[in-house]
Structure 1
Amino acid sequence: MSDLPFGFSMPNDPDDESGRRSGDSGSGAGSGRPGGGDSGTPDGFPFGDPQQMANMLRQFADMMSAQPSPGPGGGGSTPSSGVNWEMAKDVARQTVAQEGDPSVPVSDYAKVEEALRLADLWLDQATDLPSGVQTAQAWSRSEWVEKTMESWVQLCDPLTSRTVRSMGQNLPEEMQSVAGPLLGMIQQMGSMMVGRQAGQAVGELSREVVGTADIGLPLAGEGNAALLPGGVERFSEGLQVPADEVRLYLAAREAAVHRLYAHVPWLRSHVYRLVSEYADGMSFDVSGLEDRLGEIDLTNPEALQEVLGGAGGESLLQPEDTPQQKAALGRLETTLALIEGWVATVVSSAVSGRLPQSDALSEATRRRRATGGPAEHTFAALVGLELRPRRLREASALWSALEEARGIEGRDAVWQHPDLMPTGEDLDDPDAFVSGGGDFGGADFDISSLTGDAPGAGPDRGGAPEADGSEDDGDDTRGKDS
């Protein structure tokens, strides 16, 4: 067996000996390059000796047959998905196991459960939304992987599958006619490679997360609140804040996210829809693809994977910025900022006077969300999207101003319908939104026109601003999207 990158291997087939001898005979035959160059290439076959191509495809088919098949319930690669998510889950678990993952001690489990319950009670005084916590648990890293994988699939599949399906699409017709078999193989290999890389990224993410709602989305489903004691401990490093205080603060954030999603039924599907719109706007530059395919030596499977994977983990096809993609990104980032800003505002109110170091913990959390960790950056590079609240400060200020002007009930009432949500322009001018300007015309707005039976009632705001190009602050590493 010869080892390949990404953990693949190609079987040594003694029957291939004649094919190799055939490929090695003749001057320049089987160079593996388009136009391979000389008269030794039968019929001018553009990718070298046809026998070498046949041997390569047969070896690849053997490799594919050795890969795990999707389990019952559909966790694996499907024609509609294009990504082997069953492999991703297995790789994520292997990644966790490699570094060791002890079970949560009984004492830590009790501390986490108590913190989640207590913090959830504190939130009763800070928000009009009732509790959304149904279970309070402490998880190991492997438990986090197991219980959040379904959400990762749903969240990332539109992006990763788009990348896999784009391999070989939109090529010039003459190129498709000569590269068809190879590009089909690239798509299949891409499915496995993306699945393997996604699994490794999720496994690495489990080292950095503190709970189920780090990205502003309850990844284990609404109501299933949990903290990872190991993640909480790593978050505490360098803060000089008592461990119990850190745990309570993070528990309050976890419980606040669950409240929001439990009582805003449209929010989860709204976030997923925005991610899908972003994926739909992705376009790929194929201008350099022909040159790179021409460099592939079909007798060298390792070279094929190197070109497919690219240097530094880059994909063979890199997405381009498009107006549609930028607009969808603007809407998504605004929604994420509004979620994160609301959580930060509510948690700050809930823990004020109870946790002496709450301001320091709030700032540490904000910086963490603004910059992310190494594993989060790796995952973002894979799926082509950072789930980052770019305008967290503006969103927090808007929610605080709403609470001051309308009270807690009036602030939280904005979540009753997506058409009531602030837009990117509202983050630019929060005073106008708070005073009831724009579409609503009065501070004491009436949502009946938006939630009644009349079709098309209410303004078509949809929480969908144009990409406004504003940045959060100095911690923001992304350029302006305009």
Structure 2
Amino acid sequence: MNLYRSVRAVAGASGDDAVDWRAAAEAAKASTEPGSLELDPDEEAAYARDVRDARAGVQEAAGLEFDVPDVVEIQNRHHWIDANIATFERVMAPMESQLGAFPGAARTINTGTMTVLLAFLGRNVLGQYDPLLLAETPDEDHALYFVRPNILKAAEVLDVDSDRFRRWIAFHEVTHAAEFGAAPWLSTHLESRMQEGIDALAEGSFDRNAFRELDVTMTVVEGYAELLMDHAFDDEYADLRRKLDARRQGRGPIQRLFRRLLGLGLKQRQYERGKSFFEGVTGARDVAFASRVWDHPDNLPTGEELDDPGRWVRRLERA
């Protein structure tokens, strides 16, 4: 880790855009230890086995046909930063001209902000299903990433078996692959709401409806993943969830501030609200009925239905 090189990269931010993405990537990696990728053959095979088992378990639990992405990578932290820098750049593109009266200073501040964001996430993300939203090539294959150093570190901190923890992460990320595989329209739906919201921000306004629909869709995505985990994972995992939640709550004030600024508290709320919704649906019907949420965008619940799953069940029964 070289903080001097990180600061120098941010201070040297240049170009015509609001963020110097090359400098942000360099600075984020300079301030982040990459971590080890020294896997022995048994561990490498275990990652592949976990993904295969997760696919079979999720297919059986949900009755959905899907494939895992062709791109399945075991990464270190620097690899994760490199893999995600293009996504951040695509998402921020509509606001690239917003530099104000002092473009040089604004660019440096923006680049520094993105450096902190990438470095923080690079040190904390465990696994990621990447649907490559807003990619230039619409049919570009989705990807599945495992950040090995973070998985090992989290397992150590949580005092859980690293093999079991890795397997749990694999199942969780494969549930997301199932969702996007079962609903070919989902990527486009998310992209359009995201684009509408970001375009409005770039014009100095706030599209409340676009962000509300985005929040509802992501709540469904996270809640359905939790539902499938309950039915597909071949071990009790309440202890893992409890320890992860306790670790998040117990972090220092600076880390809690980062989580709030990055919207990670919102993500936790999406988990909880989505899980509660699908528990209500399956309590009234079953997993197969809950899976109808992916048949068509109109089957997504409204914000009101998320808090009243019986209302959603009755609407789909009438459809």
Q: Give the number of the structure whose alpha-carbon radius of gyration is greater.
A: 1
Q: CA deviation at 1:365?
A: 5.1
Which residue of structure 1 lines up, in the alignment, with residue 190 of structure 2? 271
| 2:63 match: secondary structure | coil
Matches within 5 A, 1:154-233: 154-158=90-94, 161=95, 165=98, 167-168=99-100, 183=101, 186-213=102-129, 218=131, 223-233=142-152
Aligned partner of residue 101 in structure 1, secondary structure: coil
Measured in 2, the distance between the counterparts of 1:244 and 1:94 equals 29
Partner of 1:147: 83
Distance in 2 (alpha carbons) for counterparts of 1:89 and 1:359: 36
Aligned match for 2:229, one of 341, 347, 364: 347
Match of 1:106 in 2: 40
2:279 maps to a residue whose letter is S
Change (3 A) 1:136 1:259: same
Where 1:212 maps in the other structure, the secondary structure is: strand
Offset, 1:223? 4.1
**Aligned match of 1:91:** 27
CA contact (8 A) 1:89 1:199 kept: yes
- Listed one character per residue, the Cα deviations across residues 61-95 of structure 1 (whole Å, up to 9, x for unaligned) are xx77xx4x6xxxxxxx55xxx33222222223323
Structure 1 counterpart of 2:178, from 242, 252, 259: 259
Instruction: Structure 2: state its 5+ residue gaps.
Output: 134-139
1:160-195 CA-partner distances (Å, limit 9, x unpaired): x27x61x53xxxxxxxxxxxxxx1xx1243224313
Residues of 1 paired with 2:21 and 2:239: CA distance? Answer: 39
Q: Which has the higher contact order (CA 8 A, sep 6+)?
A: 2
Deviation at 1:238, TM superposition (A): 4.6
Residues 273, 376 of structure 1: CA spacing in aligned structure 2 closer, same or farther, 3 A cutoff? Answer: farther
Q: Aligned equivalents of 2:268 and 2:192: distance in 1?
A: 17
1:198 is displaced (CA, Å) by 0.9
1:399/1:87 CA distance change after superposition, 3 Å: same
The residue aligned with 2:50 is 115
Cα pair distance change 1:280/1:362, threshold 3 Å = same
Write out per-residue CA displacement over residues 270-289 of structure 1, whole angstroms, 9 at most, x where no aligned residue. Answer: 333333333345499xxxxx
| Structure 1 residues 275 and 223, CA gap change in structure 2 (3 angstroms) | closer
Which one of 267, 272, 278 corresponds to residue 399 of structure 1?
278
Matches within 5 A, 1:374-413: 378=258, 381=261, 388-413=267-292
SS of the aligned residue for 1:247 comes to: helix
Count of equivalent residues? 306
Deviation, 1:102, is 2.8
**1:7 corresponds to:** 8
TM-score with structure 1 setting the length: 0.55
Structure 1 Cα separation of the partners of residues 54 and 299 of structure 2: 28
Q: Cα deviation per residue 1:249-288 (whole Å; 9 max; x = unaligned)?
A: 111001111121233222223333333333345499xxxx
The aligned counterpart of 2:313 is 434
SS in 1 for 2:126: coil
Cα-to-partner distance string for 1:362-410 (whole Å, 9 max, x where unaligned): 34456678999966954874x7897625343332132233334443333
Structure 1 position 435, deviation (Å): 2.3
Please give the alpha-carbon distance, in whole angstroms, between the structure 2 residues aligned to 1:87 and 1:139: 21
Specify whether residues 379 and 363 from structure 1 end up closer, same or farther in structure 2 by C-alpha distance, changes over 3 A only: closer
**Offset of residue 420 of structure 1:** 1.2
Cα distance in structure 2, aligned partners of 1:250 and 1:141 = 16
Asked if the contact 2:9–2:26 (Cα under 8 Å) also holds between the matched residues in 1, the reply is no
Paired with 1:256 and 1:431, the residues of 2 have a C-alpha distance of: 24
1:249 maps to which residue?
A: 168
8 Å Cα contact 2:72/2:144 also seen in 1:
yes
Amino acid at match of 2:294: W
Q: What is the CA RMSD across the aligned residues, in angstroms?
A: 3.7
Tell whether the 8 Å contact from 1:104 to 1:229 is kept in structure 2 after alignment.
no
| Contact 2:58-2:175 at 8 Å conserved across structures | yes
- Aligned with residue 335 of structure 1, among 184, 204, 217: 217
Give the residue type in structure 2 aligned to 1:102. Answer: S
- What CA distance in whole angstroms lies between the structure 2 residues aligned with 1:191 and 1:393? 37
Partner-residue secondary structure (3-state), 2:73: strand
Q: Does 1:416 align with 2:292?
A: no
Percent identity of equivalent pairs? 21
Amino acid at match of 2:123: R
- Whether the 8 Å CA contact 1:141–1:228 is kept in 2: the answer is yes
Residue 73 of structure 2 is aligned to residue 137 of structure 1:
yes
Conserved 8 A contact 1:401-1:434: no
The structural deviation recorded for 1:196 is 3.8
Aligned partner letter, 2:153: R
